[in-house]
Amino acid sequence: MLTSENTRSGAGARPEVAARRTMLGRATALRRGLQVAAGRTRGPDSGRGSAQPAGLDPALLGLLVCPLSKRPLRYEESSNELINEELGIAYPVVDGIPNMIPQAARKIEQAWHNYSGKKYHEIVVWQML
């Protein structure tokens, strides 16, 4: 599932993908990936979803982590969910109240689960180029 900010830089797949798999290429791709995913944050402060009444209280974003792995979450404005990429789960936000019960979390369909050990933004960038 690709989010809006990652499809923005989409240029379609090119055969140079294979050539990019060098250490240098990987570093460049990492940097590009970070720029591409500028809206995405490692930590709490997204500053995007605060205006909507059904959205999440910004004060909470700084506090919430995944109850299972205690890792930071990413707030996805379009689907109004808090996403933990590592475990591939999304916690819904209903009426501005995040539901952090693990049983209520939705599993995200991920094609890149098969890529062992690769980071999210790397893989997205591979697919973009």
Partner 1 sequence: MAASIGAAPCRTLFRRSCGKRLSAAWGLLGGARGLVAQGETHLGFQTVPEAEKEQRVYQVFESVAKKYDIMNDSMSFGIHRLWKDILLHQMNPYPGTQLLDVAGGTGDIAFRFINYVRSQREYRLRQKLKSHQNLSWQEISKSYQEEALKPLGGSQVVICDINKEMVKVGKQKAQLLGYTEGLSWVVGNAEELPFDDDKFDIYTIAFGIRNVTHIDQALQEAYRVLQPGGRFLCLEFSQVNNPLISRLYDLYSFQVIPVLGEIIAGDWKSYQYLVESIRQFPAQEEFKAMIEDAGFLKVEYRNLTAGIVAIHSGFKL
- The least distance separating partner 1 from the CB of residue 46, rounded to whole angstroms, comes to 16
Residue 47 in the binding site for partner 1 (CB under 8 A): no
- Hey, which residues between 80 and 99 contact partner 1 (CB under 8 A)? 94-99
Backbone phi, psi, residue 37, to 5° = -90, 45
Q: Which helix (H) or strand (E) holds 83?
A: strand 81-84
- The least distance separating partner 1 from the CB of residue 101, rounded to whole angstroms, comes to 6
76 - beta bridge partners?
81
- N-to-C CA span, the chain: 17
Select from 19-27, 100-108, 109-117, 119-127 the region that touches partner 1 (CB under 8 A).
100-108
- The least distance separating partner 1 from the CB of residue 119, rounded to whole angstroms, comes to 22
Two structure tokens written together for 36: 């591409």
